[in-house]
Amino acid sequence: MMNKIFLDNGMEAVEATYTNFPLEEYNSNPFIQALPPLIDKQSIIRKLMFPINFKEEEREMDSAYRLHMIHRLYNIFQPLPIHLDIWSMVFSLIYQGYIARNPFDKEYRKYINQSGKQIINRSYDINKRVNFRTTASSGILIGYSGMGKTTTINQILTNIPQIIVHKEYNGQHFNQIQVSHLTLQTPHNSSLKALTLQFFMKIDELLGTNTFKKHVSRNLSTDAMLPLLGQVAQNIGLGMLIIDEIQHLQNRGIQQMMNYFVTLINSFGVSVLFIGTPASYSIFQNEFRIARRVTGNGEIIWNNMKNDKEFRFFLESIWKYQWNRNFTLLSEEIIQATYEETQGVSDLIVKLFVNIQAMSITSGKEDITVNMIRKVAKEQFKLMRPMIDAIKSKNPYKIAQFEDLRTMDFPTDVLQKKENIAHFMMKTKKTDKKVTQTFNNEQKIDINQRKVKKNNNYADDDLRRLFQQANKSDTSVYQLLLENGFIDDMNSWKEG
């Protein structure tokens, strides 16, 4: 049991107690030994599970109270297999990152002193190779909005004390404050300076220090502030930096910010965890250095749940929390209707269940039906309907229209082709006849240049097969593209 203490600014911290690990590399390092011991899967599930208050007799209470009780469902946390993977990734990033940063290691202390002097003298070169072999790495958690990425990370981090106060280690004086993790939000304008300022302000808020006032000035460039940020991270024993909403990075800021994180990992030994929606795929696919570090260390792609055992388990786990007077059993029809209207997005499942109960209570019917599920979804998910329909269609082109829904299951080249067609269709405002003629002309040029044989047999997903089919029939290329789901019906766009 860790002893809680309070810093001068009122923030809660814990007094360091040291655990001996079976892993030799984890011992003799106070930063690691002060962290919680590693636990098995069953213990992880118990740590993560967050049930809500519920009593069957509450169903008999007045509807005015029950309409408030159903909102307890928004606080429920039901562990799933993917949560165990995320737990392992988070703990691995923090523990492994500290291996090379043992404050009692002579070589590490020598490196800290040398780099500290260079930073003070403003001679530190972030582009120069340093004599420090980091064990820090980066991890990626990418998933649909509403799957609970940030909530899961926060739930896991509640099991790791954020602020640890060291006083003595193995009989030696060790006066040190350790910050095991810190979360920052990606600025919408991709500003490195805004991210750096956010770091200093968060540290001051946590520890009651004045790093912001000490290190920040109008004339100080971002390149000059990065070494100062790294020095502060080393001084407080920062284990992991979490960068949330990474999809907010814009094209002009990606390269610079990724250089920033690579330096933070390589030169200062701080592990970095990126959290974002599928819109951030391209950031990591285009940045080899980050992708290389992530591969094998922590890369979790969290798509919507399929209509399988996992979805049913999740639905069953919340279904018992019913405040309508007549408890409704979970039937196969209800399961299928719930999946169709939510497509396995956990946030939508909970919201649908809450609103169904609200309708059940206010209408006086006091039970749940399939028609009620359809009606609630139609009324409450109006803004989400195009996205839900895109997921349901499994059509890569339709999904690609919503960057936050793209999955890694679809080949990048196919998505690119569809995005190019979408761009072409939206840019041109021509009649069907002119569009068809354009495609046919491009086909003829392609045939002349490549000398394609007429008897070529193309794969089903090859666009050239449609061109070939159009030549052998009276159907236009445009019509074939439309029928095969590569493009949308322009008339439906006009009607919308």
Identify which of 377, 409, 389 has the alpha carbon closest to the alpha carbon of residue 401.
Answer: 389
pLDDT band at 174 (very low <50, low <70, confident <90, very high): very high
Reply yes or no on whether the pLDDT at 431 is more than 80.
Answer: no
- The chain-wide mean pLDDT, for the chain, equals 83
CA 77 vs. chain centroid, Å, equals 17
Paired residues of 184 in beta bridges: 243
What fold, for 4-34+80-302?
Rossmann fold (3.40.50)
Q: What is the mean pLDDT of residues 81-94?
A: 95
Identify which of 334, 333, 349 has the alpha carbon closest to the alpha carbon of residue 388.
Answer: 349
How far is residue 86 from each of residues 138, 349, 439, measured CA to CA in Å? Answer: 13, 21, 47
Q: Provide CB contacts within 8 A for 10, sequence distance 6+.
A: none
Who has greater pLDDT, 386 or 177? 177
Structure tokens of 276?
Answer: 């974002």
- What pTM does this model have? 0.79
Percent of the chain with pLDDT over 90: 49
How far apart (Å, rounded) are the C-alpha atoms in residues 45 and 68? 28
Ramachandran quadrant class, 196 (left: phi over 0; alpha: psi -120 to 50; beta: rest) = alpha
pLDDT in tens, 41-87: 999 999 999 989 999 999 999 999 999 999 999 999 999 999 999 99
pLDDT band at 418 (very low <50, low <70, confident <90, very high): very low
Query: For the chain, what are the domain ranges?
Result: 4-34+80-302, 51-76+305-410, 427-495
pLDDT in tens, 263-273: 888 888 999 99
Identify which of 303, 328, 326 has the alpha carbon closest to the alpha carbon of residue 315.
Answer: 328
